[in-house]
């Protein structure tokens, strides 16, 4: 099976693979898809339990999603690709990179406020966000994912509320939240393993991230390029889309 996805842009080079965060879907990457597709093949997946993959046969933690991504890319015939992941999608991309370290399939790894880089996480916010169904509550909670002076896109809450009219959506998000959280914290990686990855690694984070604290980036090895944005929260790809798109393109140009 292949995860639901959108694929755009010219073929012939390793594609850029975009993996969204918890509660999102492939539409979250529109600000990157449009400029990148003029030069690169770009694939944005719906991860298991999200978007059109709501009824994916196996839904749960990031490792399950990583297996689905790896399998989908293999079925699509891609043997080399650039992985880009935000939040939970960052954890998915990291696991996939670890699994494929010896194969040479991963050309670069770009992680945006990734999950799994420390135990701290606003678990209460994630659980409340997963359960919210009305526009006002969703909008208020979604604003907490952004920097203090920034707001979530005006249409985002209405779109989420419309999707959540299907009771399966919140129920599935609750299952995913339970799988990625460890009580009031999150499961985390041994970051020293990043040294053994054979490709470039970029880490993008907002200094005002209220979901995953930016100090988790302090523990990464020196081989990782770290880009920190002031005034930005947990959603750099939406808050500073041009800058994030530029960094993704620079990673892809190296591979």
pTM above threshold 0.95:
yes
The tens-digit pLDDT sequence of the chain (255 residues) is 999 999 999 998 999 999 999 999 999 999 999 999 999 999 999 999 999 999 999 999 999 999 999 999 999 999 999 999 999 999 999 999 999 999 999 999 999 999 999 999 999 999 999 999 999 999 999 999 999 998 888 889 999 999 999 999 999 999 999 999 989 999 899 999 999 999 999 999 999 999 999 999 999 999 999 999 999 999 999 999 999 999 999 999 876
Domains, the chain: 5-121+186-254 (3.40.50.1820)
Annotate the chain with three-state secondary structure: CCCCEEEECCCCCCCEEEECCCCCCHHHHHHHHHHHCCCCCEEEECCCCCHHHCCCCCCCCHHHHHHHHHHHHHHCCCCCEEEEEECHHHHHHHHHHHHCCCCCCEEEEEEECCCCCCCCCCHHHHHHHHHCCCHHHHHHHHHCCCCCCCCCCCCHHHHHHHHCCCHHHHHHHHHHHHHHEECCEECCCCHHHHHHCCCCEEEEEECCCCCCCHHHHHHCCCCCEEEEECCCCCCHHHHCHHHHHHHHHHHHHHC
C-beta of residue 112 within 8 angstroms of C-beta of residue 31: no
Measured distance CA(255)–CA(251) in Å, rounded:
7
């Amino acid at each position: 099976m292949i995860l639901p996805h959108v694929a755009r842009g010219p073929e012939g080079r390793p594609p850029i693979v975009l993996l969204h965060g918890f509660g999102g879907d492939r539409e979250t990457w529109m600000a990157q898809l449009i400029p990148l597709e003029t030069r690169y093949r770009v694939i944005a997946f719906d991860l298991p339990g999200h978007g059109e993959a709501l009824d994916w046969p196996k839904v749960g933690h990031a490792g399950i999603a990583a297996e689905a991504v790896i399998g989908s890319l293999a079925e699509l015939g891609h043997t080399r690709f650039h992985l880009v992941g935000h939040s939970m999608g960052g954890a998915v991309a990291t696991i996939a990179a670890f699994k494929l370290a010896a194969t040479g399939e991963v050309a670069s790894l770009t992680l945006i406020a990734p999950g799994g880089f420390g135990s701290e996480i606003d678990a209460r916010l994630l659980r409340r966000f997963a359960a919210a169904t009305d526009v006002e509550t969703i909008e208020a909670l979604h604003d907490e994912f952004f920097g203090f002076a920034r707001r979530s896109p005006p249409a985002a809450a209405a779109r989420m509320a419309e999707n959540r009219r299907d009771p399966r959506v919140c129920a599935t998000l609750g299952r995913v939240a339970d799988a990625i959280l460890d009580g009031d914290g999150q499961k985390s990686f041994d970051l020293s393993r990043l040294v053994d990855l054979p490709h470039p690694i970029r880490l993008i984070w907002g200094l005002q991230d209220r979901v995953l604290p930016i100090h988790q980036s302090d523990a990464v090895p020196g081989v990782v390029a770290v880009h920190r944005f002031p005034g930005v929260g947990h959603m750099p790809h939406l808050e500073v889309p041009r800058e994030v798109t530029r960094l993704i393109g620079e990673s892809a140009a190296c591979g």
